[in-house]
Amino acid sequence: MDSISSDAARDGSICDEAIVLSVTSALAKDALSYFQSGKFHECIDILIQLNHKKRNDPK
């Protein structure tokens, strides 16, 4: 039973990571769109959100 519950926990964390990646990707696309259209203030707001979501990610 331990391997089943650990597999389920691993699958859950993979699913959570996929959701975070999807949200991060959508925010990055929005930031790019704002930047390209000259809406720099909106772009910065989204980049700040991304920074908070991925605090230890140097990208």
pLDDT digits (tens, 9 = 90+) for 7-59: 545 556 677 778 778 888 999 999 999 999 999 999 999 999 988 877 776 66
d(CA 26, CA 6): 30
Look at residue 52 in the predicted model and tell me its pLDDT.
86
Q: What is the pLDDT of residue 8?
A: 47
- Supply angle C-alpha 46, 38, 57, rounded to 5: 30
Residue 11: predicted pLDDT: 59
Residue of 34, 59, 56 lying closest to 45 (CA atoms): 34
- 21 or 4, which is more confident: 21
Closest alpha carbon to 54 in 30, 33, 27 = 27
User: Per the confidence metrics, is the pTM higher than 0.85?
Assistant: no
Long-range (24+ apart) CB contacts under 8 A made by 47-51 are 50/24
